[in-house]
Each structure stands twice: as structure tokens, then as C-alpha cells.
């Protein structure tokens, strides 16, 4: 989901996510092959930063104060409520004021996303489709899982705080 989001943020919209990733591909019995050295010609992609997809500290601070966006935290409930220490050294515990919690794991069954209608129902319990959303998690990695779920569910005004 993180690679998908970064491609979108750089203006490349023709990108998809393999649901379940390589583990699900292998478990489903699809073929894989050993790495081979290949010669590829240089592509012609030019990145064009799409600022609407990324939010930074000042953006999040303003959104928190003004309540202009729903700030949705992808961490576990225990991390969100500061009941456990953050796993990365130097990362402070705590919650962005006025944020809500939807653990990214709640969108998954094993490695695979839950059905669209289940994911959409989870989002609709927390935020209406027209409300702008900023996803956070501490590093911006698992926040992208929520961004993917939101986009699949039809949300349009979504961004990731890249912590």
C-alpha cells in the first residue's frame, strides 16, 4: 500500500496493489521464478508531485485545531491510547488531538483486504465520504493501508501524514 500511495503522490495513477502481496500469490499456487539479471531500457516516467496526497506537521496541526479534517490513526488501539510503548526507539507515545483510531489490521483477513462492503462500513461508522481525511500511524507506512481502504470504499479527499 505504501508503494501504491507514493506512486499516486508522484503523479502515477496507473498503479495497483496485489491483494495479499507475494505471500498470498504463493499460497494461491501461482508461479514464481528466481531472480534473473535483465537489461531494461530507461523508462520515460516523470514525477509530478501531487501535494493533495501528502500532509506534513503544520498541516496536521492546523487540521487538528480547526477540526477541518478527520485525522485517522492506523496504529493498534493499545498504541493509540498509549497503553504500550512505541516499537521504534525515539518515537514518542501519544495521540494527535481530535484524532480517531481505526487499526489497519481491522481491514485485513490475514494478508488480504476484507471485502469492500465490510471496509466501507468500517469507514462510514467513523466519517462521511465528503469529509477530508488525513491518515497517520507514526511513520506513514500503515497509514497507507487505511488510505487504500478508503479509496476502495469511494472516499476521494484523502491524504497521508508522512510522520
Catalytic site positions: 137
* End-to-end CA gap in the chain: 16
Burial 62-72 (b: 16+ CB within 10 A, else e): ebbeeeebbbb
Q: Chain-centre distance of CA 51, in angstroms?
A: 16
All 3 cell numbers of residue 141? 507506512
Q: Give the pairing of strands 112-113 and 108-109.
A: antiparallel
Amino acid at each position: 500500500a505504501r508503494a501504491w500511495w507514493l506512486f499516486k503522490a508522484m503523479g502515477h495513477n496507473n498503479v495497483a496493489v496485489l491483494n495479499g502481496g507475494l505471500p498470498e500469490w504463493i499460497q494461491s499456487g501461482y508461479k514464481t521464478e528466481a531472480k534473473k539479471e535483465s537489461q531494461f531500457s530507461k523508462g520515460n516516467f516523470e514525477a509530478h508531485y501531487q501535494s493533495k496526497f501528502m500532509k506534513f506537521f503544520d498541516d496536521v496541526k492546523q487540521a487538528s485545531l480547526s477540526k477541518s479534517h478527520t485525522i485517522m490513526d492506523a496504529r493498534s488501539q493499545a498504541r493509540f491510547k498509549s497503553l504500550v510503548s512505541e516499537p521504534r526507539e525515539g518515537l514518542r507515545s501519544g495521540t494527535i488531538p481530535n484524532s480517531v483510531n481505526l487499526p489497519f489490521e481491522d481491514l485485513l483477513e490475514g494478508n488480504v483486504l476484507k471485502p469492500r462492503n465490510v471496509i466501507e462500513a468500517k469507514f462510514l461508522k467513523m466519517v462521511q465520504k465528503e469529509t477530508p481525511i488525513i491518515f497517520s500511524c507514526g511513520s506513514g507506512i500503515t497509514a497507507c493501508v487505511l488510505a487504500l481502504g478508503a479509496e476502495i470504499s469511494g472516499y476521494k479527499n484523502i491524504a497521508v501524514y508522512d510522520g
